[in-house]
Amino acid sequence: MYDATRDKVHLTDIDKFYTDICACLSKAIKDVIPCRRPNRRVSYFNVPGWNTYVAEKHQAAREAIVLMDMGKPRSGHYTDNMRRTRATFKLALRFC
């Protein structure tokens, strides 16, 4: 004998199962595959060779910029240091 309510329960279960699978796949993709998000300064791309070539230069450039925040001079030792460390950082990043 055919029971329509039983079919509705199965359809509901199948829909929930499908939704759960899609949500699981979406979360896995979001966690594993790097992607660019618009209007954000943070990039989630992995840069091969970052730790080997770029990390120290990035830290030096950040420290030089922190020193520059004191009055933001346009010339002098701090400005030259900031420009030099930023240039070496960008060159190392392009190398990667």
The 10 Å Cβ neighbour count of residue 61 is 22
- For 47, phi then psi, to 5°, come to -110, 110
pTM of the model: 0.51
Specify the pLDDT at position 69. Answer: 72
Specify the pLDDT at position 23. Answer: 93
7-to-4, 12, 21, 79 alpha-carbon distances in Å: 5, 9, 21, 74
Shortest CA distance to 44 belongs to which of 31, 62, 60? Answer: 31
45 vs 16: CA distance, rounded Å = 33
35 vs 41: CA distance, rounded Å = 13
Average pLDDT over residues 73-94: 87
Give per-residue pLDDT as tens, 34-83.
666 665 565 556 778 888 888 999 999 998 888 877 667 777 888 888 89
